[in-house]
Amino acid sequence: MNKILIASKDLNFIKSIINSMDEVEYKITNLSTNFKETLSNILNNELDFVIIDLILSMEQINNIIKLLDDIKRETSVIFLNLTKDIKCQNKNIYFFKKEISKEFVFSYLRYMLKNNFIKKDENLELENKIWKEMISAEFEMKNKGDLLLLEVIKYIKLKGKTNSNLKQDIYPYIAKMLNISIGKIKWNIIYSINRTYLYNSEIMEKYLQENLKNKPTPKYIIYNI
């Protein structure tokens, strides 16, 4: 079970994390409300994830990064509410600027926990971009189909496989990578798209900038996100 530290003064934020983490194995083992408590909790506890929703100086952020490097634990840390870009070589540290919505953060954290992400993906920047686009198109990023759709889009963009045959060229790779059948990939993606269109067709159409007369096909969505 993933052990989480939440560093925040906002009780509603903490409650929102708890409410958004359905169907995920985790335990909030520590809470902190300031920099010193956060530093102490990271140092003295075996944590899988740390979510920092505090206004910190660059010096304080660098101190946390240095501590993580020194103790050499595979702890993933999410910094929120940043006002500028930060570069860091530690691949287990994630930075989200102030304008990123909390819903996006909750969805991403849920995705990480479901997939047991302790090590950062080399292509996280691309994945973040796709994730944000899918949320803009009103995908909830909760069910398996949403996450499979993300993996398919990411693979296509990384490999430059424009207009490839999904069943022959794309789904087999994802099936092998995730140890799931091609049929399940196809069914879950169709379910995800149909469900999103059924409940949020107007927002989806606005995102795609097109008046959809019928449910969009997986190929249409995949190559237009």
**pLDDT tens digits, 172-195:** 988 888 778 899 899 999 999 998
Backbone angles phi, psi at 96, to 5 degrees: -125, 125
Instruction: For residue 209, give the 3-state DSSP assignment.
Output: coil
For the chain, list the strands marked E by DSSP.
2-8, 26-32, 49-53, 76-82, 93-97
Q: Is the pTM of this model over 0.75?
A: no
Instruction: For residue 194, give the 3-state DSSP assignment.
Output: helix
| 104/135 Cα distance (integer angstroms) | 7
| 105/99 Cα distance (integer angstroms) | 11
**Beta-sheet pairing, 76-82 with 93-97:** parallel
Note whether residue 132 is domain-resident.
no
Summarised one tens digit per residue, pLDDT across range 47-79 is: 888 999 998 988 999 999 899 888 877 788 888
Summarised one tens digit per residue, pLDDT across range 112-150 is: 666 555 444 556 667 777 877 888 888 877 677 888 898
Note whether residue 135 is domain-resident.
no
Note whether residue 127 is domain-resident.
no
Do residue 114 and residue 160 come from a single domain?
A: no
Residues recorded for the chain: 225
Do residue 65 and residue 153 come from a single domain?
A: no
Domain residue limits at 160: 144-222
> How many folded domains does the chain comprise?
2
Those residues with Cβ within 8 angstroms of residue 215's Cβ, 6 or more apart along the chain or in another chain:
193, 194, 197
Do residue 85 and residue 163 come from a single domain?
A: no
